[in-house]
Structure 1
Amino acid sequence: MNYKVIINMPILNHEIPELRELVGWGRRDKDFPTLFKRCNFWAGVRNENNKLIAFGYVAGTGLEHGYMEDIIVHPDYQKMGIGVELVRELLRESGRYGLEIVTLTYDPKHKIFYETCGFIPCSGGLWKKQ
């Protein structure tokens, strides 16, 4: 089946926490609907039963630089190209939105996935509140 990535797809507040939980991440229920108000744009993919099976978003000031985050694909739909198409569509939308640079952080085990999507590995830093 061919799945379609839709920018700013209507998503119910509980759908992303449920998807996050399925991939082993914290639900972060309190983030929704605030995330939709604060990010530049998001993308989603639904299956034939209208269930959300993939999600990701780009945040930032909306000027030159954006930050891609929370690329999630339901475990039953991984390794089917959905994640790559989701990221590529978010990057296309970034260009339409006027962003010149999109960055992200990822677990090293996902390096090849993000290179396939067009990202160039680079060094950076991370600050996390203790």
Structure 2
Amino acid sequence: MKINYSWRATLTDAQLVTLTEAHGGHAESGWWDRAKHHSLGWVSAHDGTELVGFANLAWDGADHAFLLDPKVHADWQHRGIGTELVRRARDAATDAGCEWLHVDFEPHLRPFYFGACGFTSTDAGLIRLTAS
């Protein structure tokens, strides 16, 4: 397995929709075309020309970066790709001068973020703005 990682690679909305669905998520066409303009950058993982992993890095333009939408294609999970995507995003945030990297996740992902990626627990607040 030879995975190539890229910072700010040219990605299409269709590629992100395909990856999101292969990851088991619900994809909305046009999402990436809107989101990429608000990003510090993104890390992508490729097997040849196939996009197999992705992590978006938003920021406030100063001290805070936010890890958003990390995902690895279901057929490629449990091979260290997600951990490498997060590591590279962390390094990019550091290089940009950020002091903090934030991430939100579902409870079943605690071992990944706290164990494999080195995040620590913190107090945070959340307001749901839409009905489920």
Give the TM-score taking structure 1 as reference length: 0.93
* C-alpha displacement of 1:23: 1.9
* C-alpha displacement of 1:127: 1.5
- State the match for 2:43 in structure 1: 43
Q: Aligned letter for 1:117? A: C
* C-alpha displacement of 1:30: 2.3
Higher share in strand? 2
* C-alpha displacement of 1:38: 1.2
Alpha-carbon distance in structure 2 between the residues aligned to 1:118 and 1:2: 25
* C-alpha displacement of 1:24: 2.1
* C-alpha displacement of 1:4: 2.5
Aligned Cα root-mean-square deviation (Å): 1.1
1:58-97 correspondence runs (5 A): 58-97=57-96
How many pairs were matched up? 129
Q: Aligned letter for 2:38? A: R
> Which consecutive aligned stretches of 4+ in structure 1 deviate over 6 angstroms post-superposition?
none
SS at match of 2:56: strand
Alpha-carbon distance in structure 1 between the residues aligned to 2:58 and 2:93: 10
Q: Does 1:32 align with 2:32?
A: yes
Conservation of the 8 A alpha-carbon contact between 1:111 and 1:121: no
Structure 1 residues 70-91: Cα deviation after superposition (integer angstroms, max 9, x where no partner): 0100001000000000000000
Alpha-carbon distance in structure 2 between the residues aligned to 1:32 and 1:89: 20
Conservation of the 8 A alpha-carbon contact between 1:56 and 1:87: yes
Mark the runs of 5 or more structure 1 residues left unpaired by the alignment.
Answer: none
* C-alpha displacement of 1:92: 0.4
Identity of aligned residues (%): 25
- State the match for 1:21 in structure 2: 21
Mark the runs of 5 or more structure 2 residues left unpaired by the alignment.
Answer: none
